[in-house]
Structure 1
Amino acid sequence: MITTSEKLSETDIIERILAGEKSLYEIIVRRYNPFLYKVGRSYNYNHEDSQDLIQETFIGAYKSLSQFEGRSDFKTWIIRIMMNNCYRKKEKSSFKNEMVQDINDNAKPMFSNSNNDTGKVIQNRELARIIEEALSKIPFDYRVVFSLREINGLNISETADLLNISESNVKVRLNRSKAILRGEIEKAYSSQELFEFNLIYCDAIVEWVMKKIN
Structure 2
Amino acid sequence: MIPSDHHLTETDIAGRVLKGEKSLYEIIVRRFNPCLYRVGRSYNYNHEDTRDLMQETFIDAYRSLHQFEGRSDFKTWIIRIMMNNCYRKRVKLSFKYEMAQDINDHAKPMFTASGRDTGQMVQNWELGGIIENALSRIPFDYRIVFSLREINGLNVSETAKLLSISEANVKTRLNRSKAMLRNEIEKTYCPSELFEFNLIHCDAVVDHVLSRIGSNE
Asked if Structure 1 and Structure 2 have the same fold, meaning a TM-score greater than 0.5 normalized by the shorter chain, the answer is: yes
Superposition pairs for residues 21-170 of structure 1, below 5 Å? 21-91=21-91, 98-99=101-102, 101-104=104-107, 107-108=108-109, 110-113=110-113, 115-170=115-170
**Gapped regions of structure 1 (runs ≥ 5):** none
1:41-97: per-residue Cα shift (whole Å, max 9, x none)? Answer: 000000000000000000000000000011210000000000000000003755758
**Gapped regions of structure 2 (runs ≥ 5):** none
Q: Percent identity?
A: 68
- Rounded to whole Å, the distance in 1 between the matches of 2:105 and 2:185 is 23
- Rounded to whole Å, the distance in 2 between the matches of 1:52 and 1:166 is 31
User: Aligned in 2, Cα 1:49/1:94: closer, same or farther, shift over 3 Å?
Assistant: closer
SS of the aligned residue for 1:80 comes to helix
1:78-124: per-residue Cα shift (whole Å, max 9, x none)? Answer: 000000000000037557585451433xx44x224163432343521
SS of the aligned residue for 2:184 comes to helix
User: Aligned pair 1:185/2:185, yes or no?
Assistant: yes
> How does the TM-score come out when normalised to structure 2?
0.91
- Rounded to whole Å, the distance in 1 between the matches of 2:86 and 2:66 is 23
Superposition pairs for residues 12-27 of structure 1, below 5 Å? 12-27=12-27
AA at the equivalent of 1:103:
H
Is the 8 Å Cα contact of residues 6 and 27 (structure 2) preserved in structure 1? Answer: no
AA at the equivalent of 1:33:
N
- Rounded to whole Å, the distance in 2 between the matches of 1:180 and 1:140 is 12
SS of the aligned residue for 1:184 comes to coil
User: Aligned in 2, Cα 1:72/1:114: closer, same or farther, shift over 3 Å?
Assistant: farther
Is the 8 Å Cα contact of residues 93 and 141 (structure 1) preserved in structure 2? Answer: no
AA at the equivalent of 1:35:
C
User: Aligned in 2, Cα 1:176/1:2: closer, same or farther, shift over 3 Å?
Assistant: same
User: Aligned in 2, Cα 1:20/1:87: closer, same or farther, shift over 3 Å?
Assistant: same
- Rounded to whole Å, the distance in 2 between the matches of 1:97 and 1:126 is 29
1:144-171: per-residue Cα shift (whole Å, max 9, x none)? Answer: 0000000101011100000000000000
1:123-149: per-residue Cα shift (whole Å, max 9, x none)? Answer: 211111111111000000000000000
- Rounded to whole Å, the distance in 2 between the matches of 1:7 and 1:113 is 25
AA at the equivalent of 2:25:
Y
Length, aligned pairs only: 211
User: Aligned pair 1:199/2:202, yes or no?
Assistant: no
AA at the equivalent of 2:87:
Y
- Rounded to whole Å, the distance in 2 between the matches of 1:207 and 1:47 is 17
